[in-house]
Structures are given as C-alpha cells and as structure tokens.
A = this chain, B = another copy of it.
Amino acid sequence: MQLEGIRVVDLSRILSGPFCSMFLADMGAEVVKIEDVGEGDPIRRQGELRNGFSLYFASYNRNKRSLTLNLRHPDGMAALRKLIATADVVLNNFRPGVMDRMGLARAELERLRPGIVSCHISGFGLDGPYRDRPAFDFIAQAMSGFMSVNGAEGEPPMRAAPPVTDLVAGAYAAMGVCAALVRRARTGLGEEVAASLTDGMVSMLSFLATNYFATGELPVRTGNDHALVAPYGLFEASDGEVAIAPSNDQVYYKLLDALELSELRAHPDFLTNRDRFARRAAINARINARTRERPIAHWLEVLNAAGVPCGRVLDVRQVFEDPQVRHQQMRITIDHPRYGPLDVLGFPIKFSDDPCRVHRLPPDLGADTDALLAELGYTPEAIAGLRSARAA
C-alpha cells in the first residue's frame, strides 16, 4: 500500500486528528492510536451504537492499533518515548504548546528519532493571538467567514451540519504529512506540519474571497441561487425538484434545446448570462413551466443525454441506495468477530493498483497494548508492572 512501512504515533482524539490518521491508516501506514487508560478517546462514547460499538468511532478509527498509556505517569511517558523512537510520524491535536509541556517539543522528537515528521492540528494555528483559545468546529465555521456566506438571502448566517472544519483540517494535515514524507525520502530530513480548523475553512472561501479582494465588496448569502450565474438552481418537475446547473452559454443552449425551448436562444431578454441574471425570475419561470410537465426521472435522462449537469437532491438514505454511490463503495461493512457487521464510510481516494482497504478492525480500547509493548522490548513482567501501576 501507499504508506506501507510508515509508523504513525497518533496522540490525537475526537475528530480532526483521527480523520487525518484514518487516511494514513487507509493508505497502509501502521497507526498506533494512543489512548488514556480506562476511558480512551471520548469519540468511543459518541454517535449511535451498532451492537454496542459506536459507528462514528469505527468509521474514523478502522485500520488503527490502540495502545493505552497514562501520559501523566513517568513509566507511561517512557513507553511513549520508546515508541516515538521507532516512528516516522507523530500526530497531535492538543492545544499549541501542550506537546512542549509534555517534553515532546520538536527538537526532542528529532533527538528521539532523526527525520521524524511531527504534525499538529489546532483551532487557529500554532502561533498568533488566538493560539491558546479553545476551538470547536462551530467556532471555526463562524470565524472563518464560512457561516457568513452559507444560508439564504435575508436569513441569518448558517453553519453546515457536518463538522466540515475538522474534516478539512484533518485532510490538509494528511496531505502535508504525505508531502513531508516525499521530502524525507529525498533528503532524509524531518519536518513540522501544521493545519488549523480556521485556516482550512478560510482556504475554502474560494472566489468569494478573491472577488472580495478584487472589489472590496462583501459577498451576500444567495441560498440555492448562484451569485453569478442564471439559470441555475432547483427547478420544479411534476414529482419533485431537479437540480440544474448550466455552467456557461453553450450548456445553457443545450438546456434550452433539451427542454424544447430553443426559441429562447434568440430572446432579447435572455441573450447573455448578465441578461438572464438580471431577469432570473423570468427565465426560471419559463423553465419551470416546462419542467413541471414531466417527472424528475424524465428530465434526468433527457438533460444528462444532452450534456447538461443535473441531478436529484438526495437525502442520506437515498445517497447510500444510489447505484453510483454503491458502485463506488462509499458505505462499507466491516465484519467484526464480536460486534458483527459495522457499517462505515468508504474510501474517497481511489488507487487502481494498490487500493485502500480494511486491513485492521477498529480496535477495542488498548487492544494492542501488550503486543506493542512487547515489540518495544518490554518483558511480560514489565508489562504487568506497567498495568498494575496504571501506567499502561
């Protein structure tokens, strides 16, 4: 697999860090998830259970090993340092500065393992005036500007329901780790990688940011209407709504032809996107009058055949029943010998030759503690000693 032979020591918890290490694990890295003795990652107790096991935890922690260590105990910390000395990557999503206070500053990590890649995920970044603030997805959605552009015209700013800022930061961190490993393969050098919930989401403002840079004008919330393009949006079929998104004049002409409204091509009110945008209600009314005559399935067939981007608005059940999403295996089932089938999200990055796969079950808390400590040279007696001291 892509990251075979790479060992990741993962000190992160909840979502942004585990999402990052999920990608590394799915691509073949050996991810050792460090968890508190007794309690473990709080995400084990979040989300709905299937057969007593959280599918939220299972989705983000498949393919990982679990090692419980008490990092407030010197013997737990000593075991962690031994493990780091065998690792290629160390990941954390503590608040900035915590790694330093734990005695795991960059220089010390480099001393333990020359060439190690250290990755930090935080709310606002490793330095700057907000570095010590607590963060959370909702706060980063608010402070990144994302909420200010999400929502309907005339309605309040709106958060997205998925924890997008955690997810984007986690994906960026995984990309940065992989890139640092490319550099290490070439130079032997280690690196420090950082991603933050807020920076990640700011980077997703896209043309809403660059248009503001160019004009100084603030974007407004436009709901399902595109801020620049018309027609575009949800249109009324006889049995529901259909999403239609012609991206330019050529596709707009294809849309008109497919709707048998070709006479509108030359209509003086609708010649250019600018004209149509200024008369959005009028052009939408013409289109709705036609689309209302037939069902969604008809329009999907006709419009796709004509090369006009279109689709249904699927709810979560319909998504996972959709033949394309099923073909792409975006819901996969892990057969667990004790918990039975555990359904999790599939792999969004596809490799033809050496694909992502489930090579380890989502671990019980501390499932790999004994094996990992033995690999580090601890005798059975020493392991028993760590356990009786509640250090592991």
> In the assembled complex, which residues on chain B have CB atoms less than 8 Å from the CB atom of A348?
172, 195-196, 199-200, 202-203
With A5-B186, A156-B234, A247-B136 in contact, do A207 and B47 touch (Cβ < 8 Å)?
yes
Q: Pick the contact of A214 from B55, B137, B216, B223 — CB < 8 Å?
A: B55
Known: A136-B309, A175-B178, A191-B351. A315 touches B148 (CB 8 A): yes
Which residues of B have CB within 8 Å of A317? 212, 216, 218
B327–A208 CB distance below 8 A: no
CB-CB under 8 A from A232, the residues of chain B are: 138
- Check if A139 sits within 8 Å of B178, measured CB to CB: no
Q: Which of A5, A172, A200 has the most CB of B within 10 A?
A: A172
Q: Which single residue of chain B is at the shortest CB-CB distance from A247?
A: B136
Residues of B within 8 A of A140 (CB): 311
Task: Report Cα–Cα, A251/B171, bound state, in Å.
Answer: 27
A297 CB to nearest B CB, Å: 14
Q: Which of A68-76, A260-268, A318-326, A369-377 contacts B (4 or more CB under 8 A)?
A: A318-326
Cα–Cα distance between A331 and B144 once the two chains are bound (Å)? 12
| A252 within 8 Å of B (CB atoms) | no
Verify A199–B328 contact, CB threshold 8 A. yes
Give chain B residues whose Cβ lies under 8 Å from the Cβ of A139. 243, 245, 309-311
- Whether A37 is near chain B, meaning CB under 8 Å from some CB there, is no
Residue A4, interface by CB 8 Å: yes
Decide if B183 touches A186 in the complex (CB within 8 Å): no
Residues of B within 8 Å of A343, CB to CB, are 210, 213-214
A2-B182 contact in complex given A133-B304, A171-B172, A353-B192, C-beta closer than 8 Å: yes
Chain B residues within 8 Å of A353, by CB = 189-192
Q: Are B143 and A206 in contact (CB under 8 A)?
A: no
Residues from chain B with a CB closer than 8 A to the CB of A164 are 164, 204
| Contact stretch, chosen from A79-87, A120-128, A282-290, A378-386 | A120-128
A314 at the interface (CB under 8 A from B): yes
| A213-B262 Cα distance, complex, nearest whole Å | 45
Cβ of A134 under 8 Å from chain B = yes
State the CA gap A213–B6 with chains docked (Å). 31
Rounded to whole angstroms, the CA-CA distance of A211 and B150 in the bound complex is 24
Determine whether the beta carbon of A161 is less than 8 Å from that of B150.
Answer: yes
* Residues from chain B with Cβ under 8 Å of A149 in the complex: 160-162, 316
Of the candidates A183, A192, A215, A320, the one having the most CB atoms from chain B within 10 angstroms of its own CB is: A183
Q: Hey, which chain B residues are within 8 Å of A48, CB to CB?
A: 210-211, 214-215
- A230 adjacent to chain B (CB < 8 Å): no
Report B-chain residues with C-beta under 8 Å of the C-beta of A158. 150-152, 158, 223-224
Asked if A308 lies at the interface with its beta carbon under 8 angstroms from chain B, I say: yes
CB distance from A182 to the nearest CB of B (A): 5
Residues of A232-263 contacting chain B, CB below 8 A? 232-234, 243, 245, 247-248, 251
Neighbouring B residues of A4 by C-beta, 8 Å: 183, 186
A131 to chain B, nearest CB (A): 8
Which residues of A from 106 to 157 have beta carbons under 8 Å from B? 106, 123-130, 133-140, 142-152, 155-157
A residues lining the B interface (CB < 8 Å):
1-6, 15, 23, 27, 42, 46-50, 54-56, 58-59, 106, 123-130, 133-140, 142-152, 155-164, 167-168, 171-176, 178-183, 185-186, 189-196, 198-200, 202-216, 218-219, 221-224, 226-227, 232-234, 243, 245, 247-248, 251, 304, 307-320, 322-325, 327-328, 330-331, 343-346, 348-354
Ranked 9 nearest A-B pairs via Cβ: A128-B327, A48-B214, A178-B178, A192-B352, A136-B309, A213-B343, A185-B185, A2-B179, A145-B319
